[in-house]
A = this chain, B = another copy of it.
Amino acid sequence: MNLYRLYELRKRKKWSLQYIADQLGIAKSTYAGYESGYRQPSLDAIKKIADVMETSVDYLLNRIDNPDFQAVKKRKETEKWIELTDERMASEVKLTIDGRTLSDEEKKQFIAFVRARRQMENEYR
């Protein structure tokens, strides 16, 4: 396992070992060990590293070659509330059940289903 990208990214940002170690909350010798290959970061550690470096774990592990991490932006921008009947949402939100995308038909039925259910609740009160 070669984590040479840690060094590349850190240098690019002009951070010292101490500086990044402080951000990660670990000893600088620990972090240095990751870069030199002397040690391997835990999953938690590699996650935090990807966080502070604003990249993906897959990039750090050489699974992809694009260091950009779109989710950084998305995480902050995504609305907390999503209205399902809003057509415009369809292109931004993908709902899945058991890993399978919810079809338009299923979604339509979903909405009808909930509306009917709520209607009944109201009538019995």
Contacts and interface: CB of A to CB of B under 8 A. Distances in A.
The 3 closest A-B pairs by CB, nearest first: A57-B57, A64-B71, A12-B99
Given A56-B72, A64-B71, A75-B70, A96 B80 contact: no
B80 A97 contact: no
18 contacts: A12-B99, A41-B43, A43-B61, A50-B63, A57-B61, A70-B75, A71-B77, A74-B78, A74-B80, A78-B80, A78-B92, A79-B91, A79-B94, A83-B96, A84-B102, A85-B97, A110-B113, A110-B114
A50 B64 CA distance: 12
A41 to B, nearest CB: 7
B115 A97 contact: yes
